[in-house]
Amino acid sequence: MPRYRAPLRDIRFLIHQVFDFAGHYARHGHEEVTADLIDPVLEEAARFTENELDPTRTEGDETGTHLESGQVVTPPGYKKAWKAFVEGQWNGISCSPEYGGQGLPHSLGMAFHEMAESANMPWCPLFTLSQGAIRAIEAHASDELKQAYLPKMVAGEWTGTMALTEAHCGSDLGLLRTRAEPRDDGSYSVTGNKIFITWAGQDLTDNIIHLVLAKLPDAPAGPKGISLFLVPDRLLDDSGQPGERNNVAVEALEEKMGLKASPTTVFRLDGARGWLVGEPHRGLAAMFTMMNAARLDVSFEALGIGQLSHQGAVEYARERLQMRAPAGPREPDQAADPIIVHPDVRRMLLTQKSLVEGCRALGLYAATQLDIGLGSPDEQARGRANDLMALLTPICKGFFTERGSEITDLGIQVFGGHGYIREWGMEQLYRDVRITRIYEGTNGIQAIDLIKRKTLASERKLLDLFLEEVRGFCDANADAGEVSTELVARTRKVADEWSELTDRLMAAAGDDINAPMSAAFEYLEYSGYAALAWCWARMAVTAEQALKEDNADRAFLEGKLQTARFYFDRILPRTRALAESMVADTQSLMTMDDEQFFMP
C-alpha cells in the first residue's frame, strides 16, 4: 500500500525558488504572506494529510458508502478526518475573512489541495465542491443569502454540492428539465431529477447546500434559459439553524468503477424550496464561477493521485529484486538487482516523475494567476490573469487528467502482477483517477473549449498572452547555463511551432469548421506538452543557478536537471506525432457513414 509522504521539497522549490510566491503575494495584495508564514502552513498541511487523511484511503475503498433511510453512511474514519480538517481550519484556507475564512492566497490553498488529493482523493470533493459553492454564492447571491449560509459553509459546518447533471443531459445542459416556479415569498419551488450528484446526503454535517441548475417558467430554450438556485437539505429556522427537512431526497447511490468512498447520488427535488442565485436565466454563467475553479481542482486531483502512484512505484522499484542490470550486477551480494536498474523501469519512473513535477509547476503557476485574477488591487493585472486562466483552465484540466491515467497505469506496470492485485493499493489509484477525464466537462469538451472559445473566438489573443510570457522567459535566459541554454532554445522552438499550428488551424477553420474541431483533442495535448516544456525549462534554469550558488541540496537539484533533460528528450517528442495528425485532412475522420462504424 503506498504510504503518502508529502513532496515538500519539490513544493518548496517551486514556491520559493522558481515562482517566488512571497514576492508575488507582496505585489498582489497579500504582503502579510511571507516565506516565514508559507513554510509552517506547508508543514502543517503535510502533517494533516499524512497522519489524518492518508490512513482513511484504503479502508474507504474497501467499505464504500451505503444508503440507510435516505442518508449516506460514510466509511469509518471519515467523520474523524472531517472533524480534524474543520478544526485545522483547512476548509476556509482561501475563503474571505468576512465570512470567517483565513483569506490565504488560492495558490497556497492549492498546495494543500494537492496533498489532500494524494492522501485520499474520494474524500476531497467534500471540501472542493463546498469551496466552489462558497465562491459562487459569494460572487452572485444576495447579501441575505451570503449572511445566512457562508459563515457555516466556510467553517465546514455545512458542505456544498453542484447539481447540474440529469439522466438525459451532461455536456449539453441546455437540455435540462428541472423546473423552478416562483412562490409568493420570493423563494422558488424546485422540481426535477438529478443524477451523479457527488457527496449529497452525507452523514458528516447537519446541513448540505445544493447549488441546482433549473429553468424558470419563462425561460428561453437552451443554455441561455438556465438559472441557478440555492437549495438547502434543511430549511433554516428563525435563528438561522437547520430545521425542517426540505423536499430533497437521495434516492439511490450509483455503483461505480472507482471513488468507492465518494457517494455519487441519484437525487430528487420535489417542490423543494430554493433561492435564486444571480440573475434569472444567467445561471450557467454564475455556475461557471464554480466550474472554472472546479476544473482546476480536478487538475489537482489527477496530479495528487499521480504523485502517490509515483511514490509507490519508486519505493517498490528500489526493493523488488528481479534479474541483473544489462551492464552487469549492481548488487552482486543479492540474488538479483532491484528493478530500478532496468532501463524500461527507469523509463516508467521518469515518465511519471517528469509528468507529475511538470504538472505541479504548471498547476501552481496557474494558481498564481487565480490569485491575481480574483484578488489583485491592480485592474489591468486582474484582466491579464483572468485571460491567462481562461486559456490554462482547459489545458490543465484536459492534460493533467489524461496524464493522471497514464501515470497510474505506469504505477501498476512497475509492480508487475502485484500492481493488479488489490492489496498493493496501486489499482485503486488507476480506478479513482479515471473519472477526472470525464467530470467537470469531459476532456472532449475541454478540447472544444480550448480551440473554439479560447482560441478561434479570441482570435488567439489568449494564446499570444501566454506565448509572450514564454518568449520573455526564453529571451531572458538564452545563456542560462550548460544544460538549461539548450532546453530554453528547445522551448522557444516548441512555442514557435505551437503558434504556427494555431495559425494553420485558424486558417483552415475559414473553409471547414470541422478542421479545427477534428484537431481539438490533439491540439489540447500539444498545448499541454508545450506548456510543460516551458515549466521544465524554468525549473532547469532555477536548479542550475542554485547549483552554482550553494550545494546544500545538490542531489535534489541535479535530479531536477536530469528530469528536465528526460522530459525534453523522451516526452516532448510526442508533440511531433500530434503536430502531424493535427493538420491531417479531415476526410479520414468525417466521411465514413455512421452505419459503417460497425457492421455485424
Ligand X SMILES: Cc1cc2nc3c(=O)[nH]c(=O)nc-3n(C[C@H](O)[C@H](O)[C@H](O)COP(=O)(O)OP(=O)(O)OC[C@H]3O[C@@H](n4cnc5c(N)ncnc54)[C@H](O)[C@@H]3O)c2cc1C
* Catalytically annotated residues: 440
Residue at 241: amino acid letter: Q
Q: For the CA atoms of 409, 449, 28, 491, what is the dihedral angle to 10 degrees?
A: 60
* 229 makes contact with ligand X (CB under 6 A): no
At closest approach, how far in Å is the CB of 225 from ligand X?
17
The residue from 33, 148, 154, 163 that contacts ligand X (CB under 6 A) is: 163
Nearest distance from residue 212's CB to ligand X, in Å? 9
Stretch that binds ligand X, among 2-10, 371-379, 420-428, 438-446 (CB under 6 A): 438-446
Nearer to ligand X, 263 or 278 (CB): 263
Q: Is 170 in the site for ligand X (CB under 6 A)?
A: yes
Minimal distance in Å, beta carbon 298 to ligand X? 10
Closest to ligand X by CB, 448 vs 505, is 448
Q: Is 196 in the site for ligand X (CB under 6 A)?
A: yes
Query: Of 100 and 283, which CB lies nearer to ligand X in the complex structure?
Result: 283
Q: Is 439 in the site for ligand X (CB under 6 A)?
A: yes
Is 183 in a helix, a strand, or coil?
coil
Stretch that binds ligand X, among 387-395, 442-450, 459-467, 530-538 (CB under 6 A): 442-450
Residue 264 within binding range of ligand X, rule CB under 6 A = yes
By beta-carbon distance, which residue lies closest to ligand X? 170
Burial 384-421 (b: 16+ CB within 10 A, else e): bbbbbbbbbbbbbbbbbbbbbbebbbbbbebbeeebee
Cell numbers standing for residue 283: 445561471
Cβ-based nearer residue to ligand X, 162 or 190: 162
Is 448 near ligand X (CB under 6 A)? yes
Which residue's CB is nearer to ligand X, number 273 or number 397?
397
Identify which of residues 101 and 441 has a Cβ nearer to ligand X in the complex.
441
SS3 at position 536? helix
Among 429, 435, 474, 535, binds ligand X (CB under 6 A): 435
Contacts (Cβ under 8 Å, ≥6 apart) of 466: 388, 391, 392, 531
Instruction: Say whether residue 509 binds ligand X (CB under 6 A).
Output: no
The reply on whether position 124 binds ligand X by CB under 6 A is no
Least distance to ligand X from the beta carbon of 195, Å?
7
Does 176 engage in binding with ligand X (CB under 6 A)?
no
Under the binding rule (CB under 6 A), the answer on residue 256 touching ligand X is yes
CA 194, 197, 203, 208 dihedral sign is negative
Provide the pairing of β-strand 71-73 with 188-198.
Answer: unpaired
171 binds ligand X (CB under 6 A): yes
Which residue stretch of 157-165, 393-401, 493-501, 521-529 sits at the interface with ligand X (rule: CB under 6 A)? 157-165
> Does residue 466 touch ligand X according to CB under 6 A?
no
Q: Which stretch binds ligand X (CB under 6 A): 158-166, 183-191, 537-545, 569-577?
A: 158-166
Can residue 519 be called a binding residue for ligand X (CB under 6 A)? no
Q: Please state the closest distance from residue 387 (CB atom) to ligand X, in A.
A: 24
Exposed e or buried b for every residue in 338-365, given b needs 16+ CB within 10 A? bbbbbeebeebbbbbbbbbbbbbbbbbb
Here the contacts of 143-149 (C-beta below 8 Å, separation 24 or greater) are 145/230, 145/275, 145/277, 146/99, 148/236, 148/240, 149/209, 149/230, 149/232
Nearer to ligand X, 256 or 342 (CB): 256
Q: How many residues bind ligand X (CB under 6 A)?
A: 20
Measured in whole angstroms, how far is the alpha carbon of residue 547 from the centre of its chain? 32
442 binds ligand X (CB under 6 A): yes
Nearest approach, Cβ of 171 to ligand X (angstroms)? 3
**Is 164 among the residues that bind ligand X (CB under 6 A)?**
yes
CB of 231 to ligand X, least distance (A): 13
User: Binding of ligand X at residue 305 (CB under 6 A)?
Assistant: no
Residue 88 in contact with ligand X, rule: CB under 6 A: no
Angle at 288 between CA 285 and CA 292, to 5 degrees: 150
Residue whose CB is less far from ligand X, 151 or 441: 441
CB atoms within 10 A of CB 379: 8
The residue (of 419 and 441) whose beta carbon lies closer to ligand X is 441
Task: Tell me if 259 contacts ligand X by CB under 6 A.
Answer: yes
Regarding 127 and contact with ligand X (CB under 6 A), the answer is no
Cβ atoms 100, 155 nearer than 8 A: yes
The phi, psi pair for 30, rounded to 5°, reads -125, 50
Map 184-211 to HEC letters: CCCCEEEEEEEEEEECCCECCCCCEEEE
Q: How far is the CB of 325 from ligand X (least distance, A)?
A: 43
Please report whether residue 271 would count as binding ligand X according to CB under 6 A: no
Which residue, 442 or 581, has its beta carbon nearer to ligand X? Answer: 442
445 binds ligand X, rule: CB under 6 A: yes
Q: Does 141 bind ligand X (CB under 6 A)?
A: no
Distance of alpha carbon 150 from alpha carbon 139, whole angstroms: 11
- Percent helix, strand, coil in the chain, to 5, is 60, 10, 25
DSSP 337: -
438 binds ligand X, rule: CB under 6 A: yes
Question: Distance between CA 247 and CA 345 in Å, rounded?
Answer: 55
Cβ contact 518:586 at 8 Å: yes
Query: Smallest distance from the beta carbon of 149 to ligand X, in angstroms?
Result: 18
CB 363 within 8 A of CB 304: no
DSSP 545-591: HHHHH--TTHHHHHHHHHHHHHIIIIITTHHHHHHHHHTS-THHHH-
- What is the smallest separation between the CB atom of 445 and ligand X, expressed in angstroms? 5
What is the smallest separation between the CB atom of 520 and ligand X, expressed in angstroms? 8
Instruction: Please say which residue, 163 or 359, places its beta carbon nearer to ligand X.
Output: 163
Q: Please report whether residue 58 would count as binding ligand X according to CB under 6 A.
A: no
Q: Which three cell numbers stand for residue 204?
A: 458528516
- Give the three-class secondary structure for 282: strand
Q: How far apart are the first and last CA of the chain?
A: 44
165 binds ligand X (CB under 6 A): yes
Is 162 a residue that touches ligand X (CB under 6 A)?
yes
- C-alpha 518/C-alpha 584 separation (Å) is 9
Nearest to residue 132, comparing CAs of 163, 173, 169?
Answer: 163
If one asks whether residue 128 binds ligand X (CB under 6 A), the answer comes out as: no
Contact set with ligand X (CB under 6 A): 162-165, 170-171, 196-198, 256, 259, 264, 435, 438-439, 441-442, 444-445, 448
